Chain A
Amino acid sequence: MNPEILLNLSQIAVLALVLLGTVRLLGTAPTSLTAAFFAFAIAGVLLSDLYWLAYDLLRPGTRMPFAANEIGEWAMFLLLGAALLSRCTLCLWEARRETLGAAAFAAACAALWIAWSGEWVQDVLTGLSYGYLLCALSVRAKEEAAFFPVVTRAFAALCVLLIAAQTATFFAPEAAARALDLFCSVLLLSGTAAQTALALRSLKRKDAPGAGVCRAFAAFAGGVCTMYMSSGAVYSAALLLTTLCFPLMLAALAAEKEAAA
Protein backbone atom coordinates (compact mmCIF):
# COMPACT_ATOMS: atom_id res chain seq x y z
CA MET A 1 0.00 0.00 0.00
CA ASN A 2 1.10 3.56 -0.76
CA PRO A 3 2.89 4.94 2.38
CA GLU A 4 0.95 8.19 2.05
CA ILE A 5 -2.31 6.24 2.35
CA LEU A 6 -0.96 4.45 5.44
CA LEU A 7 -0.01 7.79 7.01
CA ASN A 8 -3.42 9.17 6.12
CA LEU A 9 -5.13 6.15 7.67
CA SER A 10 -3.16 6.59 10.88
CA GLN A 11 -4.09 10.28 10.94
CA ILE A 12 -7.77 9.36 10.54
CA ALA A 13 -7.52 6.95 13.50
CA VAL A 14 -5.78 9.61 15.63
CA LEU A 15 -8.32 12.27 14.65
CA ALA A 16 -11.26 9.99 15.55
CA LEU A 17 -9.76 9.43 19.01
CA VAL A 18 -9.00 13.14 19.42
CA LEU A 19 -12.58 14.00 18.43
CA LEU A 20 -13.92 11.63 21.10
CA GLY A 21 -11.54 13.20 23.63
CA THR A 22 -12.63 16.70 22.66
CA VAL A 23 -16.29 15.92 23.36
CA ARG A 24 -15.25 15.37 26.98
CA LEU A 25 -13.88 18.91 27.11
CA LEU A 26 -17.29 20.39 26.30
CA GLY A 27 -19.40 21.48 29.20
CA THR A 28 -17.20 23.52 31.52
CA ALA A 29 -18.16 27.11 30.88
CA PRO A 30 -14.79 28.94 30.53
CA THR A 31 -13.25 26.47 28.11
CA SER A 32 -16.28 25.00 26.34
CA LEU A 33 -16.14 27.59 23.57
CA THR A 34 -12.52 26.72 22.78
CA ALA A 35 -13.42 23.02 22.88
CA ALA A 36 -16.41 23.54 20.57
CA PHE A 37 -14.27 25.33 17.97
CA PHE A 38 -11.57 22.69 18.31
CA ALA A 39 -14.09 19.84 18.01
CA PHE A 40 -15.52 21.24 14.80
CA ALA A 41 -12.04 21.85 13.39
CA ILE A 42 -11.15 18.22 14.12
CA ALA A 43 -14.43 17.00 12.60
CA GLY A 44 -13.66 19.03 9.48
CA VAL A 45 -10.13 17.61 9.13
CA LEU A 46 -11.41 14.09 9.75
CA LEU A 47 -13.97 14.42 6.97
CA SER A 48 -11.42 16.03 4.63
CA ASP A 49 -8.99 13.16 5.30
CA LEU A 50 -11.73 10.60 4.63
CA TYR A 51 -12.58 12.38 1.38
CA TRP A 52 -8.94 12.43 0.33
CA LEU A 53 -8.56 8.73 1.21
CA ALA A 54 -11.71 7.79 -0.72
CA TYR A 55 -10.52 9.80 -3.71
CA ASP A 56 -7.07 8.20 -3.65
CA LEU A 57 -8.53 4.69 -3.44
CA LEU A 58 -11.27 5.20 -6.04
CA ARG A 59 -9.31 7.28 -8.53
CA PRO A 60 -5.64 6.41 -8.05
CA GLY A 61 -3.14 8.38 -10.09
CA THR A 62 -5.51 11.20 -11.04
CA ARG A 63 -4.97 14.75 -9.84
CA MET A 64 -7.73 16.01 -7.60
CA PRO A 65 -9.20 19.29 -8.86
CA PHE A 66 -10.45 21.99 -6.50
CA ALA A 67 -12.75 20.13 -4.15
CA ALA A 68 -14.67 20.41 -0.88
CA ASN A 69 -11.78 19.11 1.22
CA GLU A 70 -9.86 22.33 0.54
CA ILE A 71 -12.73 24.29 2.05
CA GLY A 72 -12.39 21.89 4.98
CA GLU A 73 -8.75 22.94 5.38
CA TRP A 74 -9.61 26.66 5.27
CA ALA A 75 -12.35 26.11 7.84
CA MET A 76 -9.91 24.20 10.05
CA PHE A 77 -7.51 27.18 10.07
CA LEU A 78 -10.34 29.61 10.83
CA LEU A 79 -11.76 27.43 13.60
CA LEU A 80 -8.36 26.82 15.22
CA GLY A 81 -7.71 30.58 15.08
CA ALA A 82 -11.12 31.24 16.63
CA ALA A 83 -10.37 28.61 19.31
CA LEU A 84 -7.15 30.45 20.21
CA LEU A 85 -8.83 33.86 20.28
CA SER A 86 -11.81 32.64 22.33
CA ARG A 87 -9.69 32.81 25.51
CA CYS A 88 -7.72 35.90 24.52
CA THR A 89 -8.35 39.39 25.88
CA LEU A 90 -5.61 41.16 23.93
CA CYS A 91 -6.75 42.95 20.77
CA LEU A 92 -4.93 42.81 17.43
CA TRP A 93 -3.67 46.38 17.81
CA GLU A 94 -1.95 45.55 21.09
CA ALA A 95 0.08 42.87 19.33
CA ARG A 96 0.43 44.70 16.02
CA ARG A 97 4.13 43.94 15.51
CA GLU A 98 3.61 40.18 15.96
CA THR A 99 0.42 40.20 13.88
CA LEU A 100 2.09 42.08 11.04
CA GLY A 101 4.98 39.61 11.07
CA ALA A 102 2.59 36.64 10.97
CA ALA A 103 0.52 38.21 8.17
CA ALA A 104 3.66 38.99 6.15
CA PHE A 105 4.86 35.38 6.52
CA ALA A 106 1.48 34.02 5.42
CA ALA A 107 1.44 36.41 2.43
CA ALA A 108 4.96 35.33 1.41
CA CYS A 109 3.96 31.65 1.74
CA ALA A 110 0.86 32.25 -0.42
CA ALA A 111 3.01 33.99 -3.06
CA LEU A 112 5.35 30.99 -3.13
CA TRP A 113 2.44 28.51 -3.40
CA ILE A 114 1.03 30.51 -6.31
CA ALA A 115 4.43 30.52 -8.00
CA TRP A 116 4.64 26.72 -7.63
CA SER A 117 1.09 25.71 -8.53
CA GLY A 118 -0.35 28.64 -10.47
CA GLU A 119 -3.68 28.14 -8.67
CA TRP A 120 -4.41 31.74 -7.70
CA VAL A 121 -7.81 31.53 -6.03
CA GLN A 122 -7.06 28.43 -3.96
CA ASP A 123 -3.67 29.65 -2.79
CA VAL A 124 -4.87 33.16 -1.94
CA LEU A 125 -7.75 31.75 0.14
CA THR A 126 -5.46 29.20 1.79
CA GLY A 127 -2.99 32.01 2.55
CA LEU A 128 -5.74 34.17 4.06
CA SER A 129 -7.10 31.44 6.32
CA TYR A 130 -3.60 30.25 7.31
CA GLY A 131 -2.69 33.89 7.97
CA TYR A 132 -5.70 34.20 10.28
CA LEU A 133 -4.46 31.19 12.28
CA LEU A 134 -0.92 32.62 12.48
CA CYS A 135 -2.22 36.07 13.55
CA ALA A 136 -4.45 34.53 16.22
CA LEU A 137 -1.53 32.43 17.39
CA SER A 138 0.81 35.42 17.61
CA VAL A 139 -1.72 37.51 19.58
CA ARG A 140 -2.47 34.68 22.02
CA ALA A 141 1.23 33.82 22.33
CA LYS A 142 1.97 37.43 23.25
CA GLU A 143 -0.76 37.47 25.88
CA GLU A 144 0.40 34.20 27.41
CA ALA A 145 4.12 35.07 27.00
CA ALA A 146 4.35 31.57 25.52
CA PHE A 147 7.81 31.97 24.03
CA PHE A 148 10.96 33.65 25.39
CA PRO A 149 11.85 36.71 23.27
CA VAL A 150 14.97 34.92 22.06
CA VAL A 151 12.88 31.96 20.80
CA THR A 152 10.44 34.33 19.06
CA ARG A 153 13.34 36.12 17.38
CA ALA A 154 14.92 32.80 16.35
CA PHE A 155 11.64 31.64 14.76
CA ALA A 156 11.22 35.00 13.00
CA ALA A 157 14.76 34.73 11.63
CA LEU A 158 14.08 31.16 10.47
CA CYS A 159 10.92 32.33 8.67
CA VAL A 160 12.81 35.13 6.87
CA LEU A 161 15.62 32.73 5.93
CA LEU A 162 13.12 30.18 4.66
CA ILE A 163 11.24 32.65 2.46
CA ALA A 164 14.51 34.07 1.10
CA ALA A 165 15.91 30.61 0.32
CA GLN A 166 12.67 29.41 -1.29
CA THR A 167 12.49 32.56 -3.42
CA ALA A 168 16.12 32.10 -4.46
CA THR A 169 15.32 28.63 -5.86
CA PHE A 170 13.41 30.34 -8.70
CA PHE A 171 16.46 32.30 -9.83
CA ALA A 172 19.41 30.04 -8.93
CA PRO A 173 20.95 27.57 -11.43
CA GLU A 174 19.56 24.02 -11.21
CA ALA A 175 22.24 22.49 -8.96
CA ALA A 176 22.16 25.43 -6.56
CA ALA A 177 18.35 25.39 -6.57
CA ARG A 178 18.38 21.73 -5.59
CA ALA A 179 20.79 22.44 -2.74
CA LEU A 180 18.64 25.36 -1.60
CA ASP A 181 15.55 23.17 -1.74
CA LEU A 182 17.23 20.56 0.46
CA PHE A 183 18.32 23.30 2.86
CA CYS A 184 14.73 24.57 3.08
CA SER A 185 13.40 21.06 3.73
CA VAL A 186 15.90 20.56 6.56
CA LEU A 187 15.06 24.00 7.95
CA LEU A 188 11.32 23.37 7.85
CA LEU A 189 11.51 19.89 9.35
CA SER A 190 13.94 20.85 12.10
CA GLY A 191 11.85 23.93 12.94
CA THR A 192 8.67 21.85 13.20
CA ALA A 193 10.44 19.13 15.20
CA ALA A 194 11.82 21.78 17.59
CA GLN A 195 8.35 23.30 18.06
CA THR A 196 6.84 19.86 18.68
CA ALA A 197 9.57 19.06 21.23
CA LEU A 198 8.92 22.40 22.94
CA ALA A 199 5.19 21.66 23.13
CA LEU A 200 5.83 18.16 24.49
CA ARG A 201 8.25 19.45 27.11
CA SER A 202 5.83 22.13 28.17
CA LEU A 203 3.10 19.53 28.67
CA LYS A 204 5.43 17.20 30.59
CA ARG A 205 6.64 19.97 32.88
CA LYS A 206 3.08 21.25 33.36
CA ASP A 207 4.05 24.81 32.43
CA ALA A 208 1.40 27.56 32.28
CA PRO A 209 -1.57 25.92 30.45
CA GLY A 210 -2.17 28.89 28.13
CA ALA A 211 1.46 28.82 27.02
CA GLY A 212 1.19 25.08 26.44
CA VAL A 213 -1.80 25.60 24.17
CA CYS A 214 0.14 28.20 22.14
CA ARG A 215 3.16 25.92 21.80
CA ALA A 216 1.07 22.95 20.65
CA PHE A 217 -0.81 25.10 18.11
CA ALA A 218 2.49 26.63 16.92
CA ALA A 219 3.90 23.14 16.32
CA PHE A 220 0.80 22.29 14.28
CA ALA A 221 1.05 25.50 12.23
CA GLY A 222 4.73 24.73 11.56
CA GLY A 223 3.85 21.20 10.47
CA VAL A 224 1.22 22.48 8.05
CA CYS A 225 3.70 24.96 6.55
CA THR A 226 6.24 22.15 6.08
CA MET A 227 3.63 19.96 4.39
CA TYR A 228 2.58 22.74 2.02
CA MET A 229 6.19 23.49 1.06
CA SER A 230 7.55 19.99 0.53
CA SER A 231 7.02 16.68 -1.20
CA GLY A 232 8.11 13.04 -0.91
CA ALA A 233 9.80 11.92 2.31
CA VAL A 234 9.85 15.39 3.86
CA TYR A 235 6.09 15.68 3.27
CA SER A 236 5.51 12.29 4.91
CA ALA A 237 7.65 13.25 7.92
CA ALA A 238 5.73 16.54 8.24
CA LEU A 239 2.42 14.65 7.97
CA LEU A 240 3.58 12.38 10.80
CA LEU A 241 4.56 15.35 12.97
CA THR A 242 1.26 17.09 12.24
CA THR A 243 -0.62 13.92 13.22
CA LEU A 244 1.27 13.96 16.51
CA CYS A 245 0.25 17.59 17.05
CA PHE A 246 -3.50 16.79 17.21
CA PRO A 247 -3.29 14.83 20.50
CA LEU A 248 -0.76 17.40 21.72
CA MET A 249 -3.27 20.20 21.12
CA LEU A 250 -6.00 18.15 22.83
CA ALA A 251 -3.76 17.48 25.84
CA ALA A 252 -2.89 21.19 26.05
CA LEU A 253 -6.58 22.15 25.94
CA ALA A 254 -7.38 19.50 28.58
CA ALA A 255 -4.66 20.95 30.83
CA GLU A 256 -6.14 24.40 30.30
CA LYS A 257 -9.60 23.11 31.23
CA GLU A 258 -8.20 21.48 34.37
CA ALA A 259 -6.52 24.74 35.37
CA ALA A 260 -9.70 26.74 34.73
CA ALA A 261 -11.94 24.38 36.74
Chain B
Amino acid sequence: MIYAENILLCIAVPLLISLLFIRGSARRYAAAFLLGMLVCLLAAYISGYLNLVTGMGENDAAIFISPMVEELMKLMPLLFFLVMFDPEDRTLTMLSVAIGAGFATYENCCYLLTSGAESLSYVLIRGLAVGVMHIVSILALSIWFIAAKRLRAFSFPAVVGGLSPAMVFHALYNLLVSEPGVSRVIGYILPLMTAAALCALYRKLPSLLS
Protein backbone atom coordinates (compact mmCIF):
# COMPACT_ATOMS: atom_id res chain seq x y z
CA MET B 1 0.00 0.00 0.00
CA ILE B 2 1.37 3.40 -0.98
CA TYR B 3 -0.13 6.85 -0.43
CA ALA B 4 -0.35 7.93 -4.05
CA GLU B 5 -1.86 11.35 -3.32
CA ASN B 6 0.99 12.18 -0.92
CA ILE B 7 3.56 11.16 -3.51
CA LEU B 8 1.88 13.40 -6.08
CA LEU B 9 1.87 16.32 -3.65
CA CYS B 10 5.53 15.79 -2.87
CA ILE B 11 6.56 15.81 -6.54
CA ALA B 12 4.08 18.44 -7.68
CA VAL B 13 4.76 21.19 -5.14
CA PRO B 14 8.31 22.09 -6.37
CA LEU B 15 7.03 22.04 -9.95
CA LEU B 16 4.07 24.24 -9.01
CA ILE B 17 6.38 26.73 -7.32
CA SER B 18 8.67 26.70 -10.35
CA LEU B 19 5.71 27.78 -12.52
CA LEU B 20 5.80 31.16 -10.78
CA PHE B 21 9.32 31.87 -12.04
CA ILE B 22 9.29 30.52 -15.58
CA ARG B 23 7.58 31.84 -18.71
CA GLY B 24 6.71 30.80 -22.23
CA SER B 25 7.09 27.26 -23.52
CA ALA B 26 9.02 26.13 -20.41
CA ARG B 27 6.02 27.09 -18.28
CA ARG B 28 3.63 25.32 -20.64
CA TYR B 29 5.82 22.21 -20.54
CA ALA B 30 5.97 22.18 -16.74
CA ALA B 31 2.18 22.74 -16.46
CA ALA B 32 1.44 19.94 -18.93
CA PHE B 33 3.91 17.70 -17.07
CA LEU B 34 1.99 18.34 -13.83
CA LEU B 35 -1.28 17.68 -15.60
CA GLY B 36 0.13 14.38 -16.86
CA MET B 37 0.89 13.34 -13.26
CA LEU B 38 -2.57 14.37 -12.13
CA VAL B 39 -4.35 12.38 -14.88
CA CYS B 40 -2.18 9.40 -13.96
CA LEU B 41 -3.57 9.52 -10.42
CA LEU B 42 -7.15 9.89 -11.71
CA ALA B 43 -6.61 7.01 -14.15
CA ALA B 44 -5.37 4.85 -11.26
CA TYR B 45 -8.55 5.66 -9.28
CA ILE B 46 -10.81 4.78 -12.24
CA SER B 47 -8.87 1.61 -13.11
CA GLY B 48 -8.97 0.53 -9.47
CA TYR B 49 -12.72 1.09 -9.32
CA LEU B 50 -13.33 -0.81 -12.56
CA ASN B 51 -11.07 -3.59 -11.33
CA LEU B 52 -13.26 -3.94 -8.24
CA VAL B 53 -16.51 -3.82 -10.21
CA THR B 54 -15.48 -6.36 -12.85
CA GLY B 55 -13.66 -8.63 -10.40
CA MET B 56 -10.66 -9.08 -12.72
CA GLY B 57 -7.31 -9.91 -11.19
CA GLU B 58 -4.58 -7.25 -11.05
CA ASN B 59 -2.78 -8.74 -14.04
CA ASP B 60 -5.90 -8.97 -16.20
CA ALA B 61 -6.95 -5.45 -15.24
CA ALA B 62 -3.53 -4.18 -16.34
CA ILE B 63 -3.99 -5.85 -19.72
CA PHE B 64 -7.65 -5.15 -20.41
CA ILE B 65 -8.80 -2.13 -18.38
CA SER B 66 -5.80 0.13 -17.69
CA PRO B 67 -4.78 0.79 -21.32
CA MET B 68 -8.25 2.06 -22.20
CA VAL B 69 -8.61 4.21 -19.07
CA GLU B 70 -5.07 5.61 -19.17
CA GLU B 71 -5.14 6.55 -22.85
CA LEU B 72 -8.58 8.12 -22.47
CA MET B 73 -7.36 10.15 -19.50
CA LYS B 74 -4.25 11.29 -21.39
CA LEU B 75 -6.45 12.33 -24.31
CA MET B 76 -8.63 14.63 -22.18
CA PRO B 77 -6.08 17.44 -21.48
CA LEU B 78 -4.72 17.21 -25.03
CA LEU B 79 -8.22 17.54 -26.47
CA PHE B 80 -8.93 20.42 -24.10
CA PHE B 81 -5.81 22.31 -25.26
CA LEU B 82 -6.64 21.60 -28.87
CA VAL B 83 -10.28 22.71 -28.73
CA MET B 84 -9.86 25.69 -26.39
CA PHE B 85 -6.55 27.21 -27.53
CA ASP B 86 -6.01 25.83 -31.05
CA PRO B 87 -2.22 25.62 -30.45
CA GLU B 88 0.43 25.54 -33.16
CA ASP B 89 1.68 22.12 -34.28
CA ARG B 90 4.94 22.44 -32.36
CA THR B 91 3.14 23.50 -29.17
CA LEU B 92 0.70 20.61 -29.46
CA THR B 93 3.54 18.12 -29.85
CA MET B 94 5.38 19.65 -26.90
CA LEU B 95 2.26 19.50 -24.71
CA SER B 96 1.58 15.89 -25.65
CA VAL B 97 5.16 14.86 -24.85
CA ALA B 98 4.95 16.69 -21.51
CA ILE B 99 1.65 15.00 -20.58
CA GLY B 100 3.09 11.59 -21.52
CA ALA B 101 6.34 12.25 -19.62
CA GLY B 102 4.46 13.47 -16.52
CA PHE B 103 2.21 10.43 -16.62
CA ALA B 104 5.14 8.02 -17.02
CA THR B 105 7.23 9.74 -14.33
CA TYR B 106 4.50 9.60 -11.72
CA GLU B 107 3.61 5.98 -12.61
CA ASN B 108 7.29 5.00 -12.36
CA CYS B 109 7.63 6.74 -8.97
CA CYS B 110 4.66 4.82 -7.57
CA TYR B 111 5.92 1.58 -9.10
CA LEU B 112 9.41 1.99 -7.63
CA LEU B 113 7.99 2.76 -4.19
CA THR B 114 5.89 -0.39 -4.38
CA SER B 115 8.46 -2.79 -5.86
CA GLY B 116 11.78 -1.28 -4.82
CA ALA B 117 14.64 0.10 -6.93
CA GLU B 118 17.45 -2.34 -6.09
CA SER B 119 17.96 -3.71 -9.59
CA LEU B 120 19.48 -1.04 -11.83
CA SER B 121 18.90 -3.06 -15.00
CA TYR B 122 15.20 -3.47 -14.21
CA VAL B 123 14.84 0.21 -13.36
CA LEU B 124 16.48 1.11 -16.68
CA ILE B 125 14.21 -1.26 -18.58
CA ARG B 126 11.19 0.16 -16.80
CA GLY B 127 12.23 3.70 -17.70
CA LEU B 128 13.01 2.91 -21.31
CA ALA B 129 9.93 0.77 -21.89
CA VAL B 130 7.01 2.21 -19.90
CA GLY B 131 8.43 5.72 -19.96
CA VAL B 132 8.81 5.70 -23.73
CA MET B 133 5.52 3.87 -24.26
CA HIS B 134 3.45 6.59 -22.56
CA ILE B 135 5.19 9.29 -24.58
CA VAL B 136 4.91 7.37 -27.86
CA SER B 137 1.19 6.65 -27.54
CA ILE B 138 0.23 10.27 -26.87
CA LEU B 139 2.73 11.59 -29.43
CA ALA B 140 1.13 9.41 -32.12
CA LEU B 141 -2.22 10.84 -31.11
CA SER B 142 -0.94 14.41 -31.40
CA ILE B 143 0.61 13.71 -34.82
CA TRP B 144 -2.77 12.38 -35.98
CA PHE B 145 -4.50 15.48 -34.57
CA ILE B 146 -2.03 17.73 -36.41
CA ALA B 147 -2.74 15.85 -39.65
CA ALA B 148 -6.51 15.99 -39.05
CA LYS B 149 -6.30 19.72 -38.31
CA ARG B 150 -4.31 20.45 -41.44
CA LEU B 151 -6.73 18.42 -43.55
CA ARG B 152 -9.71 20.10 -41.83
CA ALA B 153 -10.99 16.73 -40.74
CA PHE B 154 -11.13 17.20 -36.99
CA SER B 155 -14.31 15.27 -36.13
CA PHE B 156 -15.62 12.58 -33.79
CA PRO B 157 -14.39 9.72 -36.03
CA ALA B 158 -11.00 11.44 -36.17
CA VAL B 159 -10.75 11.60 -32.36
CA VAL B 160 -11.89 7.99 -31.83
CA GLY B 161 -9.74 6.88 -34.75
CA GLY B 162 -6.69 8.49 -33.18
CA LEU B 163 -7.40 7.22 -29.71
CA SER B 164 -7.91 3.59 -30.64
CA PRO B 165 -4.39 2.84 -32.02
CA ALA B 166 -2.97 4.47 -28.87
CA MET B 167 -5.13 2.20 -26.70
CA VAL B 168 -4.36 -0.96 -28.69
CA PHE B 169 -0.62 -0.14 -28.72
CA HIS B 170 -0.66 0.32 -24.94
CA ALA B 171 -2.71 -2.87 -24.44
CA LEU B 172 -0.35 -4.80 -26.73
CA TYR B 173 2.65 -3.62 -24.70
CA ASN B 174 0.98 -4.61 -21.40
CA LEU B 175 -0.02 -8.00 -22.84
CA LEU B 176 3.48 -8.75 -24.17
CA VAL B 177 5.28 -7.85 -20.94
CA SER B 178 2.75 -9.76 -18.81
CA GLU B 179 4.31 -13.11 -19.78
CA PRO B 180 7.98 -14.00 -19.25
CA GLY B 181 10.24 -14.98 -22.16
CA VAL B 182 10.51 -13.74 -25.72
CA SER B 183 7.21 -11.86 -25.59
CA ARG B 184 8.47 -9.71 -22.73
CA VAL B 185 11.66 -8.83 -24.63
CA ILE B 186 9.56 -7.89 -27.69
CA GLY B 187 7.34 -5.82 -25.42
CA TYR B 188 10.29 -3.90 -23.99
CA ILE B 189 11.72 -3.20 -27.46
CA LEU B 190 8.36 -2.20 -29.00
CA PRO B 191 8.12 1.36 -27.56
CA LEU B 192 11.68 2.26 -28.58
CA MET B 193 11.15 1.00 -32.13
CA THR B 194 7.85 2.85 -32.37
CA ALA B 195 9.49 6.01 -31.03
CA ALA B 196 12.11 5.82 -33.81
CA ALA B 197 9.39 5.28 -36.45
CA LEU B 198 7.31 8.18 -35.08
CA CYS B 199 10.33 10.44 -35.06
CA ALA B 200 10.86 9.72 -38.77
CA LEU B 201 7.15 10.20 -39.49
CA TYR B 202 7.05 13.51 -37.62
CA ARG B 203 9.95 14.84 -39.69
CA LYS B 204 8.27 13.74 -42.92
CA LEU B 205 4.80 14.96 -41.95
CA PRO B 206 5.00 18.38 -43.67
CA SER B 207 6.06 16.80 -46.96
CA LEU B 208 3.46 14.02 -46.67
CA LEU B 209 0.61 16.49 -46.16
CA SER B 210 1.76 19.26 -48.48
Contact = CB atoms under 8 A, between A and B. Distances in A.
Interface of A: 23, 26-27, 32-33, 36-37, 40-41, 43-44, 47-48, 50-51, 54-55, 57-58, 65-69, 71-72, 74-76, 78-79, 81-82, 86, 132
The 3 closest A-B pairs by CB, nearest first: A75-B164, A68-B171, A78-B157
Contacts of B147: 36
Contacts of B208: 23, 26-27
A48 B157 contact: no
A50 B175 CA distance: 11
A78 B160 contact: yes
Nearest to A75: B164
A65 B183 CA distance: 20
Nearest to A49: B168
Interface of B: 56, 60, 63-64, 67-68, 144, 147-148, 151-153, 155-158, 160-165, 167-172, 175-176, 178-179, 183, 207-210
Given A44-B165, A75-B163, 15 more contacts: A27-B210, A32-B209, A37-B161, A50-B172, A51-B168, A51-B171, A67-B64, A68-B170, A69-B168, A69-B171, A71-B167, A72-B165, A72-B168, A76-B164, A78-B160
A79 B172 contact: no
A36 B148 contact: yes
Contact of A36 (B56, B64, B151): B151
B189 to A, nearest CB: 14
A71 B168 contact: yes
Contact of B164 (A37, A44, A82): A44
A229 B153 CA distance: 33
B63, B178, B183 interface centre (most CB from chain A within 10 Å):
B63
Given A36-B147, A44-B168, A51-B168, A75 B175 contact: no
Given A51-B171, A74-B160, A78-B160, A66 B64 contact: yes
A50 B194 CA distance: 14
A227 to B, nearest CB: 18
B168 A74 contact: no
B179 A27 contact: no
Contacts of B207: 27
Contacts of A47: 165, 168-169, 172
A40 B162 contact: yes
Given A33-B151, A37-B157, A58-B183, A71 B144 contact: no
A69 B155 CA distance: 21
A50 B176 CA distance: 11
A48, A57, A68 interface centre (most CB from chain B within 10 Å):
A68
